[in-house]
Amino acid sequence: MNKYFIILAVAGIAIGAGVVWRMFLLPEEAKPFVSGVERKITVTTGVNQWRFFPEVLEVNQGDKIIMTLVNEDSYDHGIGIDAFGISQRMPANSTITVEFVVTKAGDFPFYCSVPCGEGYTEGEKRTHFDMIGNMHVRSIISETQ
C-alpha cells in the first residue's frame, strides 16, 4: 500500500477522533463558551508603582473583554495573559486597547511582560516581578453571577 495513503488515513482518523471528542465527549464546562456580552475594563500602572490597578479582575465566562491599558510611567510595561494568548507591550505614557474573549472559566494570572526595572514606592521596594495579578473568570455553569 502507498505509504502516503497510510499517513493520510492515520491523520484522518486522528482528526476525526478529535472532532468526536470535542462535539460529544468533552464535559460541558470545559467547552469554549462565547456569551456575546462585551465588558469594558481599564487597567493602569500608576506612576513608579510596579503594580497593576486593579490586581484582581472579575469577569464572566464567554464575555468579550475590551481592556483599556493605561501606562502612566515614562517607560514601557506590558501585559501577558497566557491563558488567552495576550502579550501586549504598553508603551510609555500611552493608552492602548486589547480585545479578547474569555472562553474558559477559572483563575488565570496576568503579569508584566516587559522588563521595567525596580524602585521604591511608599518605602516599599517593588520590581518588575511584582507586577502580577489574577483574572477570575466566573463559570457559566458552576457559579452564580
Q: What residues line the site for Cu ion (CB under 5 A)?
A: 112, 116, 128
Name the residue nearer to Cu ion (CB basis): 105 or 114. 114
Amino acid letter, 2: N
Q: Which is nearer to Cu ion, 101 or 131 (CB)?
A: 131
CB of 54 to Cu ion, least distance (A): 17
Q: In angstroms, rounded to a whole number, what is the distance separating the alpha carbons of residues 133 and 91? A: 19
Residue 9 region by backbone torsions, left for phi larger than 0, else alpha for psi between -120 and 50, else beta:
alpha
Cβ closer to Cu ion: 50 or 108? 50
Distance (Å, whole) CA 104 – CA 136: 10
Q: How far is the CB of 46 from Cu ion (least distance, A)?
A: 13
Interatomic CA distance for residues 48 and 125, integer angstroms: 11
Question: Using CA atoms, how far apart are residues 48 and 143, in angstroms rounded to an integer?
Answer: 37
Cβ atoms of 58 and 105 within 8 Å: the answer is no
Beta carbon nearer to Cu ion, 21 or 129: 129
Least separation in angstroms between CB 51 and Cu ion: 10
Nearest distance from C-beta of residue 106 to Cu ion, angstroms: 24
Which residue's C-alpha cell is 508603582?
Answer: 49
CB 136, min distance to Cu ion, A: 22
Give 104 or 128: the residue with its C-beta nearer to Cu ion.
128
